Amino acid sequence: MGVGALSVWEQSSTARVMAPARPRKLAKVPFVELADGRLQGVVSSGSDIGRVYVSSVAARTYAFACSTNNNRPCGGARGVFCKHIQALVAEAVLQYGAERVARYLAVEPPDGDPDAQALTAAMTATRPVKDDSSAAAQVFSRFLRHLAYLELAPVTSPLPEMQWFPATRAVA
């Protein structure tokens, strides 16, 4: 490739998709993202199939929040990370890889090869505080918007709100 020449993917209007670090099952944590300075997502309840929790951990401070989709506080998030936040961290590590999650949250795990448990231990060692001013409504709304795309009928015509999605066909 000469100077000024663009690769095939750079010539297209699509972006590369980063594959998950490892495949993950969506039943327990259907939505996880690194956004808005937080690790945030939706975690299914272990006891009630109709209930989900919106959980988040802030970068650098590790302030955390966990509440139901009806804004009821999680009973397990009392001064420590509840099981929903622990599941969120574990799924984020599967989705993005431990190094990327650690870098985003500014976590320095004690050993050189981080995993979800090491990241959680490093964050809880700082004694993070519970954050009552979470953006649970925004996170849950984004999750519902993603679910709505699954209900769309397959069409070949473009959807304007989906233009940011990468193309699924290979560009030769």
Is position 164 within any domain? no
Q: At what angle do helices 83-96 and 98-105 cross, to 10 degrees?
A: 120
Q: Looking at residue 76, what DSSP letter applies?
A: T
Q: At what angle do helices 116-124 and 83-96 cross, to 10 degrees?
A: 130
Query: For the segment 115-167, what is each residue's pLDDT rounded down to a tens digit?
Result: 999 999 999 988 888 876 668 888 888 888 888 877 878 878 776 666 655 55
Rounded-to-integer distance, Cα 137 and Cα 144, Å: 10
Q: How confident is the model at residue 171 (pLDDT cuts 50, 70, 90)?
A: very low
Is position 151 within any domain? no
pLDDT at 18: 59
Is position 25 within any domain? yes
Cα 126 → chain centroid? 22
Q: Are 133 and 73 in contact (CB under 8 A)?
A: no
Nearest residue to 38 via CA among 54, 53, 57, 55: 57
Number of domains in the chain: 1
- Share the mean pLDDT of the chain: 80
More confident residue, 126 or 88: 88
Is position 73 within any domain? yes
Provide the domain limits for residue 37.
18-139
pTM (2 d.p.) = 0.75
Element at 117 (helix H, strand E): helix 116-124
Residue found by looking up tokens 């490892």 in the block: 22
Length of the chain (residues)? 172
29 C-beta neighbours (distance < 10 Å), count: 24
Is position 3 within any domain? no
Is position 163 within any domain? no
Is position 169 within any domain? no
Q: Are 105 and 39 in contact (CB under 8 A)?
A: yes
Is position 67 within any domain? yes
